[in-house]
Homo-oligomer: A and B are copies of this chain.
Amino acid sequence: MDFFTACVWAAGIAIGIAAFGCGIGQGMGLNGAVQGIARNPESSGKVTVTLLIGLAMIESLCIYALVVALILIYAHPQAAEIIKTVVAH
């Protein structure tokens, strides 16, 4: 049973820490973008395009963690064998 318990913990912590760091990272990017646009509104289009590329890159980091979390919950390869063993006991 410890195994599923660990999956659950690891999934929660992986997505939690990743969202923490990426949230701060996106906030730093966003801070720069809105200050930049406010200073020079004509650059708005170019800044927004670059901002979106960057935010998407950071988002991808968090999605890696989300994918790992979902694999741990739904699709761990040994899960089937282990649950049989547990039930068998």
Chain A interface residues (CB < 8 Å from chain B): 1-44, 46-48, 50-55, 57-66, 68-74, 76-79, 81-83, 85-87
Task: Give 5 nearest A-B pairs by CB, closest first.
Answer: A36-B38, A25-B27, A10-B12, A20-B21, A30-B54
Contact A37 B44 (CB under 8 A): no
**B residues in contact with A37, CB < 8 Å:** 36, 38, 43, 46-47, 50
Q: How far is the CA of A13 from the CA of B8 in the complex (A)?
A: 11
Can you pick out 25 interface pairs between chain A and chain B where the beta carbons lie within 8 Å of each other? A3-B8, A11-B72, A14-B16, A15-B68, A17-B20, A19-B61, A20-B21, A23-B62, A25-B27, A25-B28, A26-B27, A26-B57, A26-B61, A30-B58, A35-B38, A37-B38, A37-B47, A38-B43, A39-B43, A44-B46, A54-B55, A55-B57, A61-B62, A73-B76, A78-B83
